[in-house]
Structure 1
Amino acid sequence: MAKPAFFERAAGLAHLLRGSARPGRPIVAVTASAEALATAACAAFALNAPIFPLDPHLPEPIAKNLLDQIGDCLVIGEGRSVSTEAILAAEPAAAPKFSPPRGPALLIATSGSSGRPKAVVLTGAALAASAAASAKITSLRAGDRWLACLPLFHIGGFSILIRCALAGAEAMLHRGFDAERVHGALVEGRITHVSLTPTMLAQLLALQKPAPTGLRHALVGGAALPTELAHRAAEAGWPIQPTYGMSETCAQIATLPRLPPDWRTGKVGRPLEGAEIALTDDGRLKVRGPMLMHGYANPEFSPGDGLSDGWFVTNDLAEISPEGDLTILGRADETIVSGGKKIHPAAVEFLLAQCPGVQTVVVAGRPDPVWGEIVTAVFSGPASTEDLLNWCREHVASPFRPRAAVRLDASPLLANGKPDRLKLRELARRRQPEAGLIG
């Protein structure tokens, strides 16, 4: 199979950067162009330098903080002497071998869904281990095509490049997500694999078009996948695979090979080959294995920052069955304490997703002088706040029942398609005039 254009263009870009890049020091690519980011990554690897793809829409203080975390680096892309246009205009030549450095190879910013983003350092060895484990659960092989419509400056998107390059498959790059365009590509582009967020999947189903017949694997992750949405997609013929991962583990850490009939939100199956999972005393998931990060970034790239005895302790509450199957319950820092009772938002979100007229929903706590917090639903869809709260009175047990609701025309999302939970929690905590409220 012919290599994508960015491979050949990378040779010209590597030649252009050779006098400025320092082996072992990051090349930061600040651009929204997927083609430019892929070109920069291949060029950086050819120069034995780590690549750091960075979202150009980050607020300036956050972008500066991320650059401060990594120290000496070469920045290219928007607003730089080597611009996005210059990257895309690099003279094609014989494609360099795609071989990430064995040491630090990729820096990736965490999503910042629960705080200020951190730069994660991933080694070439970790990327290779992750890609190999992923290929087994997704049967990725030479000649396959993986549609990359997630941003490459997040691990869910960038990992597709690594998986495809190491398996001899082809990464088909899209800038941004447009449901019509993506569905057309899935049908006409001989696509075998795709990675989606639940919001993307919902938009594709809303088109009411047949599932692509050549698609073998549709990985859905990045946020909790509602049970109803997953089953509706499976019944329509989509090969759904709920998946779970994070920047600190090169993306996937667990993925179901298929959607079982009794599947429920949060179930993601056994860990990928080589990965180990366990629980802390307070129920948080911890992971270790060859795909684990080198550590959070520091100017010296010293290993281990953010790790404890070889484990990475996540902020996700989880259950592990006696058979080793993993279920994600929700974020530890999002637990609502109402009247002394601990409530996991994911459990309530699962119930509310079944309410007619609710398309997306996030649950958070609103401060209350009597109860400590009251369960609050922030949702989008044609239902009104009164519709939702009335439905809850009949279908949701009292301890879990939302006492307030905020309706949005559209749920705010991060660049990687995840719900912006910080913004949603902020909305939930406000007593807005349009919010429904019951005592």
Structure 2
Amino acid sequence: MPLRAPVLLIVDYNLSRIGDVLHLRDYARQQWGAQTWLIRANPQDHDRTISDRVFDADPLHPDFVDQALNLLGDDAGRISAGLVFSDNAVTSGAALLERLGLPVDDAALALAAFDKLAYRTAEDRVRTQLNQLGVTLPDFVRIDGLHDVRNFAARQQGSFVIKPACEGNNRGVVVVSAGGDCEQAFTEVAPYLDGGVLAEAFITFTREFSYDGLGKLWFVTEKVSASGRYPVEVAQILPARLSEQERLAIRNAGEQVNRLVGQRIGPFHNEIKLSDSGDQTAVIEPNRRPGGMKIWTLAHAVHGLDLYAAWVDSVFAGPVPEELPAATCSAATVMFGVPHDVTIDVTTLGDVQALVRDTLTRAAQELALSRDDIALLESTWIAGEPRLIHAIPRDNSDFVAQACVALHAPSVDIRDLVRVLREQWLLVLERCLAPELLLKVAS
């Protein structure tokens, strides 16, 4: 690579995306002859293995932009393109790329894509316009103390949700039923008060989707969530099962969200609920990044387009498709849990791919499929130190593994495959949980 190669700057990423960053680096090098530089707080050795240079700056620090520019120094002029790849950096990262004169989505509006309270406030300003488009807006309030929870509960006729304003992966999200224990719910979200907490009326629509895409390219992904107190995502499915009217309703809502958060050329992942009638929507939250749970990996398997490559192309001013090719199969990312509450170290459990392949074989038998009908796209342990994992997940940390699978048998619904995979995984995992590897926690 030439000494003065062009540079792709990636502003922050979550550790679960390390493989995606490596893919972005490799594609930028291959297609554009570019080095990849990375800015994130407290970089570690693995950051140096997936990028050509690393700079230590915290995107949540108030002076992040100036700090980053000082670190880059005269080398800032070598940067040809940039990507913002985390929620934490969505505002400050966009501001940095703007200062560098690089194409990026609007920094001034980006806070609404990170702070759920800021989004609800922005949404409320255009309530009438959104209502006319069939978008329902929930009642909401900022929570600073227990009295705010009680006052909000008193004016609700049904359930409501309390959640941190700036957390991901369903951390801290609690559903409070009508007449429920406000004090207990407040206790669960109290650790997040410094970053902001809000309460909002529970959106009763039962179907949830995400409006995903890059620039003008869009598609709809279907979410499968747990029922009950902790509405944790257990799977993402593509293609979503929708009528044309329903797809249009979600697209209308998703495009309004993109306008509110300043998305124009970059990625988006807007979580949206849909009424049973199919003509009313409600926004759960916006995101100006690729969807989690490997949604772009699913899109690649189903539609044959590498969106990460397209994202790199877009910031180097290369051509980007505006439509996805037709679907050739269905696919899902499935989250795998534990059969009972345990304190567990996943590194003691062996090869995750072998366990997942065993699970797929058992699921194929259960659904009368050929094993070749189910393709394993990728699988991984969800990394971390030994920790308590709940059999009834409270957030995404209560899963031990995830897998992306593609289904090439149109006779079987991908949703049935998701259900059977999660059931069979528990049986497979149970065999691995030898007494010396875990401390069973009384339920």
Same fold, TM exceeding 0.5?
no
Which protein is richer in helix relative to its size?
Answer: 2
Which TM-score applies when normalising by structure 2? 0.30
